[in-house]
């Protein structure tokens, strides 16, 4: 019997994965802002992807849109990007990503837009995976990519995501470190989220069930009361489910930092803290709430305070840089030199391509930093980061708890786990030392 008669796929050749068509359109993200979506066609495959966007954007991120905004980005795609990538091999992710960088030529994607680059890079990877008839995580990570990330979910929030109407701390998060499966892990975070309103109401009788940009509850609680509420629910649900669920925070301290005063301004708590006081305050929170995760506790230029905090609590807490590192390998190298932080947020759109994000993840792992794959506060229905987390072996994914644009990533991971069957394992090893 011939190969075709037995239904055996023909061997894929570079001809099949050649990019034959590409275009872009405007769509909307979860905040209702315009963003770019890109479609890539190969001979027999197709990929479509969009770019997310941040509210608390790091000063050193690539520029999301060129001057002229979304329309200029579409124009750049049509005139600069599409003509050059048509004819390239979608299997050559690194080559396409390098081409995007060269075509832009500014060193920060300000000519074609970081969003344009991100959506293109994602769409090319999806088109290649589809051409091969395999899932995206397998296309990028290979047959040995079987480790699933622990979901780190924002349950109670403030800062810019709540338009200044919540606590000063941008995010209070939970992570079910004791979960043995993806489904159990996702569910644990959801149970915490769904129990919280009852406790929030105890402290804030006016709480009306409001949720912020990332689907976290938002209420005008003091920072301490907000942390206490989550702590209480976390312990209750941990006991009930028999799973270790721990707490974390994203201070997004660049948003609190006043460079003229040299202080962090806590509007809700009516407190101002010097960098030294901030260090003491954060250390006290790690102790009081047994925090396993602290993101951006200091502003984005203060590498030294990140190093001091790591020195103090790094054996039990993942001290993470988001605005500090902006997924950039050069910024991470600076951090490695002074031992600043021991975790790094990976937001591919901060650097504009899958390749650049991958390089930073590789560097992080080499130096014992935990890479945390992350969404943005303005998301789309894209499932791509779920695949990137598995492909590149990130032990944690930070992608909210509920809400369509968040749950789409978590549901995709449940599907990935099912697809992998017995091979699927939670990526526990790098996190073991942080467990109780
Ligand atoms: P952003 O916030 O997507 O609004 O930047 C998320 C974060 O700070 O982690
Ligand atoms: Zn952050």
Q: Can you give the CATH number for the domain in which 301 is found?
A: 3.20.20.120
Is the per-residue pLDDT at 4 higher than 80?
no
Q: What is the sign of the dihedral through the CA atoms of 268, 269, 271 and 275?
A: negative
Is 410 within the bounds of a domain?
yes
Q: Indicate whether 232 and 99 sit together in one domain.
A: no
Regarding whether 246 and 217 lie in a shared domain, the answer is: yes
pLDDT in tens, 78-126: 999 999 999 999 999 999 999 999 999 999 999 999 999 999 999 999 9
Residue 87 Ramachandran class (φ > 0 left, ψ -120 to 50 alpha, else beta): left
Same structural domain for residues 127 and 151? no
Helix (H, G, I), strand (E, B) or coil at 206: coil
Range of the domain at 88: 11-133
Q: How is residue 398 written in tokens? A: 């930070």
Residue 142 domain flag: no
Instruction: Give every CB contact of residue 205 below 8 A, 6+ residues apart in sequence.
Output: none
What interhelical angle do 223-241 and 275-289 show, nearest 10? 30
Residue 262's Cβ-count burial label (10 Å; 0-12, 13-18, 19+) is exposed
Q: Residue 325 pLDDT more than 90?
A: yes
Place 7 in a pLDDT band, splitting at 50, 70 and 90.
Answer: low
Same domain, 51 and 29: yes
Residue 202 annotated in active site: no
Asked whether 373 lines ligand 1 (CB < 6 A), one says no
Same domain for 123 and 155?
Answer: no
| CA 160 to ligand 1: nearest atom | 4
84 is catalytic: no
- The residue with tokens 């050559």 is 92
Instruction: Based on the fold, state whether residues 210 and 111 are members of the same structural domain.
Output: no
Catalytic residue among 214, 300, 359, 383: 214
- Give the total residue count for the chain: 436
What is the side-by-side order of every strand in the sheet holding 19-28?
Answer: 19-28, 34-42, 46-50
Residue 4 lies in a domain: no
Cβ of 55 closer than 6 Å to ligand 1, yes or no, is yes
Same domain, 115 and 209: no
Strand partners, 153: 174
DSSP 328: -
- Whole-number pLDDT of residue 163: 86
Structural domains in the chain (count): 2
Q: Write down the pLDDT at residue 352.
A: 98
CATH for 29: 3.30.390.10
Give which of 224, 194, 199 is closest to 211, Cα–Cα: 194
Q: Does pLDDT of 251 surpass 70?
A: yes
> Tell me, what's the pLDDT at 12?
79
Q: Over range 279-303, report the average pLDDT.
A: 98
Does 368 fall in a domain?
Answer: yes
Mean of pLDDT values over 184-188: 98
Band of pLDDT at residue 1, cut at 50, 70 and 90 = very low
Ligand 1 contacts CB of residue 372 (under 6 A): no
Is residue 240 situated within a structural domain?
yes
Question: Do 124 and 151 share a domain, yes or no?
Answer: no
Specify whether 319 is located in the same domain as 180: yes
Distance 57 CA to ligand 1 centre (A): 7
Domain membership flag for residue 184:
yes
147's enclosing H/E stretch is strand 147-148
> Which of 29, 30, 52, 54 has most ligand 1 atoms within 8 Å of its beta carbon, as the pocket-test mutant?
54
pTM assigned to the model = 0.97
What confidence category does residue 149 fall into, taking pLDDT thresholds of 50, 70 and 90? very high
Q: Which of 225, 347, 398, 409 is catalytic?
A: 347
Task: Share the mean pLDDT of the chain.
Answer: 96
Whether residue 404 sits in one domain with residue 270: yes
Cβ neighbours, 10 Å, residue 12: 17
**Are 372 and 413 within one domain?**
yes
Residue 48 domain-assigned? Answer: yes
CA 303 / ligand 2 centre spacing (Å): 16
Q: Is the CB of 54 under 6 A from ligand 1?
A: yes
Same-domain check for residues 124 and 164: no
Across the range 370-390, mean pLDDT stands at: 98
What mean pLDDT do residues 301-310 have?
A: 98
Instruction: Specify whether the CB–CB gap between 216 and 154 falls below 8 A.
Output: yes
Condensed to tens digits (0 to 9), the pLDDT of residues 257-283 reads 999 999 999 999 999 999 999 999 999
- Whether ligand 1 lies within 6 angstroms of the CB of 360 is answered as no
């Amino acid at each position: 019997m011939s190969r075709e008669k037995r239904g055996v796929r023909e061997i894929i050749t570079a001809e099949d994965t050649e990019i034959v068509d590409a275009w872009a359109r405007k769509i909307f993200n979860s905040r209702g802002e315009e963003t770019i979506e890109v479609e890539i066609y190969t001979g027999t495959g197709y990929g479509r992807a969009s770019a997310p966007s941040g509210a608390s954007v790091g000063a050193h991120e690539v520029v999301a849109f060129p001057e002229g905004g979304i329309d200029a980005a579409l124009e750049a795609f049509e005139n600069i990007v599409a003509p050059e990538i048509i004819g390239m091999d979608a299997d050559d992710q690194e080559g396409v990503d390098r081409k995007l960088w060269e075509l832009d030529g500014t060193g920060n994607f300000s000519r074609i837009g970081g969003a344009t680059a991100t959506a293109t890079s994602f769409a090319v990877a999806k088109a290649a995976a589809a051409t091969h008839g395999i899932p995206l995580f397998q296309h990028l990570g290979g047959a040995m990519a079987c480790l699933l990330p622990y979901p780190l979910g924002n349950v109670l929030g403030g800062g810019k995501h709540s338009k200044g109407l919540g606590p000063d701390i941008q995010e209070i998060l939970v992570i079910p470190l004791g979960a043995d499966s993806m489904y159990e892990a996702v569910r644990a975070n959801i149970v915490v989220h769904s129990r919280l309103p009852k406790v929030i109401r105890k402290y804030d009788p006016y709480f009306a069930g409001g949720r912020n940009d990332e689907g976290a509850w938002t209420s005008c609680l003091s920072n301490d009361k907000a942390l206490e509420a989550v702590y209480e629910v976390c312990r209750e649900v941990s006991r009930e489910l028999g799973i270790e669920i721990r707490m974390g925070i994203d201070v997004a301290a660049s948003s609190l930092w006043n460079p003229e005063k040299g202080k962090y301004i806590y509007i809700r708590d009516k407190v101002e803290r010097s960098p030294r006081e901030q260090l003491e305050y954060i250390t006290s929170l790690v102790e009081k709430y047994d925090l396993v995760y602290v993101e951006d506790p200091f502003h984005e230029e203060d590498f030294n305070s990140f190093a001091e905090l790591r020195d103090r609590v790094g054996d039990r807490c993942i001290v993470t840089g988001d605005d500090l590192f902006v997924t950039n390998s050069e910024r991470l190298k600076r951090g490695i030199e002074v031992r600043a932080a021991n975790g790094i947020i990976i937001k591919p759109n901060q650097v504009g391509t899958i390749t650049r994000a991958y390089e930073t993840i590789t560097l992080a792992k080499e130096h014992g930093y935990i890479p945390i794959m992350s969404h943005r506060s303005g998301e789309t229905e894209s499932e791509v980061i779920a695949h990137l987390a598995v492909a590149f072996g990130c032990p944690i994914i930070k992608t909210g708890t509920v809400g369509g644009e968040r749950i789409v990533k978590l549901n995709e991971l449940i599907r990935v786990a099912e697809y992998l069957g017995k091979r699927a394992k939670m990526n526990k090893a790098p996190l073991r030392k942080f467990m109780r």
